[in-house]
Amino acid sequence: MKKHDLAPAQLTDIARTVLKKRYLLKNEHGDVIETPETMFWRVAETIAAVDARYGASSEQVEERAERFYHLMTQGYFEPNSPTLMNAGRPLGQLSACFVLPIDDNLTSIYETLKHQALIHQSGGGTGFSFSRLRPRNDVVRSTMGVASGPVSFMDVYNHSTEAIKQGGTRRGANMGILRCDHPDILEFITCKLDTTKITNFNISVAVTDAFMRAVDRDEEYDLINPRTGQVHIASRDGLKHPLTGDVLVPPGQPMRLRARMVFDLIVQCAHATGEPGLFFIDRANEYNPVPHLGAYEATNPCGEQPLLAYDVCNLGSINLGKFVTADKTIDWDYLREVVHESTRFLDNVIDANHYPLEQITHLSQRIRRIGLGVMGWADMLVRLGIPYNSHDAIELARKVMHFIDEESKVASEQLARERGPFPEWEYSIWGPDATCARRSDGSRIRPQRLLRNCNVTTVAPTGTISIIAGCSSGIEPLFAIAFWRYQADSRMLDINQDFVAQAKREGWYSPELMERIADTGHIHHPDVPAEVQRVWVTAHDIAPEWHVRMQAAFQEYTDSAISKTINFPHEATPDQVREAYELAFRLGCKGITVYRDGSRENQVLSTGSTG
């Protein structure tokens, strides 16, 4: 295909605006010198070219590029933003997710700070565990001073992020994680109560199964100093409750806390600000495909990828709404085809990638982790006439994700036959019986499968690529049916086009009704038929429990984790947040993030006339 005969991309006006502002190539004067079509062709060509390394002819490479181009321009599949921005360009860094290690010494802390900057500059997000750092006020032998502790270094990382804009497009995103048994855990849990602090981090507490059991049984547990591996002894100030000031551990005493008190504090803070979230670290590690290379200590910024130190993942998402046919069924055959093509795309991205660090290049080649996910799930449901908050939706979630997970593994097996399995395969959880990593009780974690990629599936937030594909994001419910978009001093009505089409088809459309829906932020008006009100539910109509159940349904058939926000109405109580956290643990989620409407002042999205 020549550049001048590129088929036009199917893009909404908003998608074109986003691409122009942040993705299309600009010259040194800031003028855009690419069209969306030439951008998609640049990506398709660069990623397809990898096939030549594995023996494909130039005609085959061209055909592959055309297929990739079709998937992206027609909104069936989009790779993560760094691939769209950087493929075929000098930086060439194509992945969204990284985790870097921080060891308990200044060299490591500042080496990793530098690496964070390099990754942000290339458009990637970084996650860190601060759990190895010695606690605040602990001894520092080299200077005879005292340590400043994980939270103060998180602040340093936060300030550095503030100073660097990612490739001039977006500010860096980080995940900060601390284990529940770190002596500074209470300070960490409360560190974002001031919503002007550490704003470039999402934070999650890494909770162990033992901790969750201790919460359940109302038991105490030890806080361990990572420098010594021993129970930490409280310094001369003792340990005080960060909100009440009550002395929890007197000076000089071993630190033990009631698990329930710590859990209550997490819940109270999450109710107040949405943070911290939880990272169920033992659950994540149970499914670590390559435990012989290390354990998971942290995730990427939005939580969908638990990763090892210097680990990386490139993501891509399939737009499910596109697979609903006119007679309201799912086109499974075409979905299969797109899953196979997308898996191949993501495997090629690993080879086309230019990573900012040698350690990352090495590990990515050894384990070949990819993250194939979905978006447009809410669109799929409304097109099929199934309410998000229903057992039918949960069942369909299982069925769809099971299908995608299985088909992507079949595709990865095909790639392994053509190109070889990932080099660490033999000792991974997918390896042969005699050598593979197992659970502590000796049982296999996964069946033996000769795969090209150690991990295949995930669910990303798809914040920007869902706008590009013109679909609902990730597995989230619709945020609103209609809302007012304020842009450059003008007020524009943004309405779900499927909703408009249905209203016109069924004869209850009127411009006034659409404006009323945007004004009130809901569709519960007499002119909207009851069945439509039942199916077209939005995030705020859906009880938190359904959000958690939906996340768990997708998790059942996903290798990595799921990025999802469990939405609560403004009037929700801390107990309801607690129930969601406990339910997520019971249902096998790998983490959870909540948000209570209006709990942060600068909420980005909002419905109703205040929006």
Residues that bind ligand UDP (CB under 6 A): 80-81, 96-97, 124-125, 170, 173, 300-302, 304, 315, 460-465
Could you tell me which residues come within 8 angstroms of residue 188 by beta carbon, excluding any fewer than 6 positions away? 130, 150, 151, 176, 178, 182, 203, 205, 276
Which listed residue (300, 314, 353, 455) is catalytic?
300
Closest to ligand UDP by CB, 377 vs 430, is: 377
Question: Catalytic one among 97, 302, 454, 471?
Answer: 302
150 or 167: CB nearest ligand UDP: 167
Task: Please indicate whether residue 313 is annotated as part of the active site.
Answer: no
Query: Cβ of residue 492: shortest distance to ligand UDP, in angstroms?
Result: 22
Give the closest residue to 68 by CA, choosing from 88, 81, 49. 49
Smallest gap from residue 170 Cβ to ligand UDP (A)? 4
Nearer of residues 102 and 465 to ligand UDP, judged by Cβ: 465
* H helix intervals, 420-496: 465-469
Nearer to ligand UDP, 190 or 458 (CB): 458
CB 589 within 8 A of CB 554: no
Q: State the minimum distance, in angstroms, from the CB of residue 23 to ligand UDP.
A: 10
Q: What's the rounded Cα separation, in Å, for the pair 70 and 389?
A: 33
Q: In angstroms, rounded to a whole number, what is the distance separating the alpha carbons of residues 212 and 598? A: 29
Is residue 587 within 8 Å of residue 552, measured between CB atoms?
yes
Picking from 350, 294, 278, 361, the residue whose alpha carbon sits closest to that of residue 101 is: 294
Q: Please indicate whether residue 304 is annotated as part of the active site.
A: yes
- Strands 77-79 and 311-319, by their bridges, are antiparallel
CB of 131 to ligand UDP, least distance (A): 20
Token code pair at residue 262 = 């710590």
- Least separation in angstroms between CB 84 and ligand UDP: 8
**Residue from 126, 107, 496, 115 nearest 312 by CA:** 126
* DSSP code string of 163-222: H-EETTTEE--EEEEEETTSTTHHHHHHTTSSTTSSTTEEEEEEE-HHHHHHHHHT-EEE
Nearer to ligand UDP, 409 or 564 (CB): 564
Environment class of 294 (CB within 10 Å of its CB; exposed 0-12, middle 13-18, buried 19+): middle
Q: Which is nearer to ligand UDP, 301 or 431 (CB)?
A: 301
Q: How far is the CB of 564 from ligand UDP (least distance, A)?
A: 12
Distances, alpha carbon 492 to alpha carbons 451, 487, 495, 496, 517, in Å = 49, 8, 10, 13, 14
Q: Is 471 a catalytic residue?
A: no
Q: What is the total residue count of the chain?
A: 611
Of residues 177 and 460, the one with the C-beta less far from ligand UDP: 460
Name the active-site residue from 275, 304, 341, 582.
304
CB of 343 to ligand UDP, least distance (A): 17
Catalytic amino acids? Answer: 300, 302, 304
